[in-house]
Amino acid sequence: MKSKLKMLGVLLVSAMVFFSCGKDDEVKNPDEKKGENSGKWTYPEDEKVFVEGGTFMMGSKDIGNDYWLKNQTPQHEVTVKSFYIGKYEVTTKQFAEYVNAKKNKYIDGFPIIILDSEYCQFEKKNGIYQPKEGQENRPVMDIWWKLAKDFAEWVGGRLPTEAEWEYAARGGKKSKNYTYAGSNNVDEVAWHSGNSSKAIYSFPVGQKKANELGIYDMSGNVWELCEDKWHSDYTNAPTDGSAWIETNGREDKRVRRGGGYMSSNERSITYRTYDDGDEDNGFRVVFDVKEDKK
């Protein structure tokens, strides 16, 4: 992602750089509305996991001198409504549908994917964008927040709030209070720097054990972007499960949760950080329900 951000800076200076994606990759797309799905692809119903609403204690009681421990406090009671969440992180195969429907044109004037970027998982054949061989079922990575949000809206969903994300990762009403999402053994449920053999790309979804709700990879494969803006701790955080979008000095940063395959194995279920442009950024989608299931 760092390499992509540098590229985007160059794009502002010279439109010539856009042609790294191919001669027919136009930049401007004035007729495309943000989040509009004019294609036929829909998010698979069998990959939507129902999460019954409830009340839980969000965050951690542990207070240490380390910044990344303090920002998990104070632990506080939160009530969330029922929702659906993706069983898996969004894959490259799914994301390719979005890229082709948008003709690789993003609303801000940038191409969605840049084929010659270091971590690009895609290729273009006969005018169609598709995952490279072996990438089809891996989480799409090297994603920035606005793009993740647009994809989620394109399929009729949205990004999870941080509270929804943690509630689902804990297992909702079926929670067994594990340290990680589905186990006390991180290797059972997550890919991290200790078991990824210095992999270049993310791992195929669903290879590890699911959590109590049947959701996969919430403790490690790619980092998962949330709707919320970053705050250094939970002081005055919402208690109704909504996204915390008031600014607090880092209005350009968004929360990400879980853990990446390049990260250490110390990412507990309460660990939180902000999007800093890492290559192992990904996301999953949440869908609203009109009423709580009975």
Task: Judge whether 293 lies within some domain.
Answer: no
CATH of the domain at 195: 3.90.1580.10
Enclosing domain of residue 58: 2-26+44-288
Task: Judge whether 31 lies within some domain.
Answer: no
pLDDT of res. 27 = 34
Task: Judge whether 294 lies within some domain.
Answer: no
Task: Judge whether 10 lies within some domain.
Answer: yes
The DSSP-derived string for 70-101 is HTT-S-EEEEE--EEEESSPPBHHHHHHHHHH
Task: Judge whether 240 lies within some domain.
Answer: yes
pLDDT in tens, 166-205: 999 999 999 999 999 999 999 999 999 899 877 788 999 9
Model confidence band, residue 37 (pLDDT cutoffs 50, 70, 90): low
Q: How far apart are the first and last CA of the chain?
A: 43
Task: Judge whether 66 lies within some domain.
Answer: yes
Res. 40: pLDDT tops 50: yes
Residue 38 Ramachandran class (φ > 0 left, ψ -120 to 50 alpha, else beta)? alpha
Task: Judge whether 266 lies within some domain.
Answer: yes
Contact 49, 42 (CB under 8 A): no
pTM, entire model:
0.85
pLDDT of res. 148 = 95
Using a pLDDT cut of 70, give the percent of the chain over it: 82
Task: Judge whether 36 lies within some domain.
Answer: no
* Tokens read off for 51: 């999460």
pLDDT of res. 39 = 56
Count of domains for the chain: 1
pLDDT of res. 172 = 98
